[in-house]
Structure formats: structure tokens, C-alpha cells
Amino acid sequence: MKGAIIGDIIGSAFKTDNTPDTNFQLFKPYSAYTDDTILTLATADSIINQKDQETTLKSWVRAFPKAGYRPAFLEWALSDDSAPYVSKGEGAARRISPIGFAAGSVEEALKEAEKSTKITHNIPERIKAAKAVAASIFICKSAGTKKEIKTFIGQAFDYDFSIKVEDWKNQKITPESDISPVQPALAAFMEASDFEEAIRLAIAIGGPSNTIACITGGLAEAYFKHIPKSITRRALARITPDMQAILTAFDKRYMSYSEQKQEA
């Protein structure tokens, strides 16, 4: 989960100022957490404290209402209206990484991802994207290989892994488009040899850089099982103590995987 937050923070500086180059300054003075971080932490909070997901999501948005949410979503989250919210935006995949890390099986990851996504994005394509992220993270944390991810996700969700980062750069990926940020994020992860390269490739794709990097960051953390301390330190200095407390509690419970990793 930490990797997702780091990806969001680094990507925030490029959200409206895309760069096609991977040779950029990782942290800028205005690099900061966005709604992607808040919603990811809300998901983690609901898991570790066994709280209702919708209630927890709304409580985090209310605590941090200026993180860059869509106006309609913010209105829903701040209201006491029990009516469901159905977004046609880029989806809930950006907040789903804690589910993949906490799941005890790929079936659980898929089930919980769908349950979480339906709260705000009860649309087949958005549910599909979130499930793909959760399943990929579970496979990664369970020492699965990239080949195994390609096989499972390709067959289960009909994702085309032949589309590379350079190809995605030529696509117009916007929050309103039909292109989910999940497939570009997976491409960046697949082509990377370590966590930092994954984040750099994700941001170079363009579009909603923080969201693509957020998804990629969760995948890269689960797979490579190592984030440079200097990157972690500089990113997490930009979150609040309340956020850090949830992140620490989640790490203690779910991030004790082996450092050993073999590629097939």
C-alpha cells in the first residue's frame, strides 16, 4: 500500500503537466498527496479496523475535503444522503491496493475488490479494472511471476499485454475517457526492473499521472518488495500523522512477506 501512496505523491506534480521523459526530478516542492491517497487509506482503515467501507470512505473524505475530489463525489461524501453514488470516472482501482495486500486468496481479492468498487463505481468496466489490480497485487505478494500475472489477468479480464508504455503514450488518457488507467499502469510495472523505474515509466505515459503511478506503485511494491528508503522518507514526509498511523498499522499486519523473489 505504501507504494501506491508514494506513486500518488510523485505523480501529483505531473497530473496537469505531463512529461514523456523518464528522467525527471522525483520530488518537487509541490509534490503532495491527492484524493488517491485519501481513498487508499480509507480502504486500509476499513480493513484493519473492520469498519463499513462506505462509512469509512466518507469519514476520510470529510477529514480531508480538499484533496482534489470530483465535485459530484465530494458532494455525495459530505452529505447524509444514503442514495448510492455511481461515477463514470476512471474508477476505484486507485484505492484498491490494500485489498490485494490483505487478501488470503485470489478469490478473496476479487470478491472484496468488487464489493469495494460497487460503492462508488457500479459499472462493469470499473469493477473489472479494480478486480484486475487486486488480483495482480495478490499474485505479486504471493511470489507470483510477471508471466503468471499476464496469463491470469489476460485470460480473466481480456487485457492485452502486448501494448507497451510507448504505445500508451500515444493514447489520450483522461479521467473522462473510456481508457482505464489500469492497463497503462500494468504496462509500466511489467517493463520495470525495480520500484523507481516503475514509477518513472508510469508517469511518462501521461494522462492522470498520479493515478497511473498510484496503481503502478502498489503493484511494484508487492512484486519487488523493496522501495528505496530515500524515496519512502521523502514521500511520507508529505502525509499527516493520522495517515501515517493507518499506514504503519497496515504494514505491521499485512506487509511481512518474504524478501525473496524469483522471476520465471
The ranges assigned to domains in the chain are: 2-16+33-253
In tens, the pLDDT along 138-172 reads: 999 999 999 999 999 999 999 999 999 999 998 87
Confidence of residue 259 (pLDDT cuts 50, 70, 90): very low
Closest by Cα among 257, 188, 249, 251 to 51: 249
Residue 257 has pLDDT above 60, yes or no: no
CB 151 within 8 A of CB 136: no
What pLDDT, on a 0 to 100 scale, did the predictor assign at position 89? 76
Cα–Cα separations (whole angstroms), residue 106 to 189, 224, 254, 256: 19, 19, 15, 18
CA 125 to chain centre: 16
In tens, the pLDDT along 29-53 reads: 999 999 999 999 999 999 999 999 9
Pick the CATH number of 2-16+33-253 from 3.40.50.300, 1.10.4080.10, 3.30.1330.60, 1.10.1070.11: 1.10.4080.10
Residue 217 has pLDDT above 70, yes or no: yes
In tens, the pLDDT along 73-121 reads: 999 999 987 788 888 777 799 999 999 999 999 999 999 999 999 999 9
What pLDDT, on a 0 to 100 scale, did the predictor assign at position 262? 36
* Interval 10-24 mean pLDDT: 95
Q: What's the maximum distance between 2 C-alpha atoms anywhere in the chain?
A: 50
Which residue type is seen at 95? R
Residue 220 has pLDDT above 80, yes or no: yes
User: Rg of the chain over CA atoms, in angstroms?
Assistant: 17
The answer to the question of whether 240 is labelled as a binding residue is no
The answer to the question of whether 211 is labelled as a binding residue is yes
Q: Following DSSP, what letter does each residue of 198-236 receive, concatenated?
A: HHHHHHHT-SSHHHHHHHHHHHHHHHH----HHHHHHHH
Residue 21 has pLDDT above 90, yes or no: yes
- Counting residues of the chain whose pLDDT is more than 90, the rounded percentage is 86
Query: What is the rounded CA–CA span in Å between residue 23 and residue 182?
Result: 23
